[in-house]
Structure 1
C-alpha cells in the first residue's frame, strides 16, 4: 500500500529542532533501506515529504506516531495507486462503460 505523507511541523524555531531533525533522518534510514519508505525529501523551509510502501494502515499509523514523537507535526496523507493498479482499475471502468 502506497502512501504519500507530507508533514508540517509545529511553528517552533527551526534552530531549536536541530537535534530532533537529525534523529528523524536516523529513524528514516532503516525504513529506506528496508523499502518501507521509498523516498523522503526535506521541504524547503520546514517539513518533509515521504513515500511509504507498507503492508497495512496499522504500519503506517505506527510510522506516523513514531515520526510525530520525534518532530510533532500535522500530516497530510494521500493513498496512492501504482501504475499497474491504476491501469487495472481503468480496465474495469472501460469494461463497465461498454
Structure 2
C-alpha cells in the first residue's frame, strides 16, 4: 500500500530541533533499506515528504507515531496507486470490467 506523507512540523527554531532532525534521518534509513519507505525528501524551509510502501494502515500509523515522537508535526497523508495499478484500472474501464 503506497502513501505519500507530507509533514508540517511545529514552528520551532531550526537550531532547537537540529538533533531531532538528525535522529529522524537515522530512524528512516532502515525503512528505506527495507523498502518500507521508497523515498524521502526534505522540503525547502521545513518538513519532509516521504513515500511509504507498507503492508497495512496500522504499519503506517506506527511509523507516523514514531516520527511524531521525534519531531512533533501534522501529517497530510495521500493513498496512492502505483503506475501499473492505475493503468490496469484504466484498461478495465475501457473493456467494461472494473478491476479490484
TM-score range, shorter chain: over 0.9
Partners of 1:94 and 1:83 in 2: how far apart? 17
Query: 2:54: which partner in 1?
Result: 54
Query: 2:2: which partner in 1?
Result: 2
Query: 1:19: which partner in 2?
Result: 19
Q: Cα distance, 1:93 vs. partner? A: 1.3
Query: 1:82: which partner in 2?
Result: 82
TM norm structure 2: 0.93
Q: Cα distance, 1:96 vs. partner? A: 2.5
**Which stretches in structure 1 are left out of the alignment for 5+ residues?**
none
Query: 2:37: which partner in 1?
Result: 37
TM norm structure 1: 0.95
**Which stretches in structure 2 are left out of the alignment for 5+ residues?**
none
User: Is 1:70 aligned with 2:70?
Assistant: yes
For 1:37-84, what per-residue CA distance to the aligned partner results, in whole angstroms no more than 9, with x for missing partners?
001011010000001100011100000000000000010011111111
